[in-house]
Amino acid sequence: MKDHQEFYGTVTCVKSDYFEVEDVDQERVITIKYEDVQKVYEGYGGKTPLPDGESLLGAGSSASLSSGACSSP
């Protein structure tokens, strides 16, 4: 995040202007606007930035999506 917050968890929803992460530390769903994101890392243990040009859910990403509805409107 641009404000240096970090969230760890599973991406549960992807929309055109935001995505949601089920945060493992806070045990709640966090809604994140793309404009607020500074970097996205893959995996939980290490910080491996996604390659240039690769999308949030691009090839090799371990993020998984639920089939349920997003919690935000």
Q: Which of 28, 22, 25, 30 is nearest to 3 (CA)?
A: 30
Computed over every residue of the chain, the mean pLDDT equals: 72
* Domain parsing of the chain, residue ranges: 1-66
Q: Per-residue pLDDT for 46 more than 70?
A: no
Highest mean pLDDT among 1-5, 36-40, 51-55: 36-40
Average pLDDT in the 12-19 region? 90
Question: Are residues 47 and 41 in contact, defined by beta-carbon separation less than 8 angstroms?
Answer: yes
When pLDDT is cut at 50, 70 and 90, the band that residue 61 belongs to is very low
Average pLDDT in the 51-66 region? 45
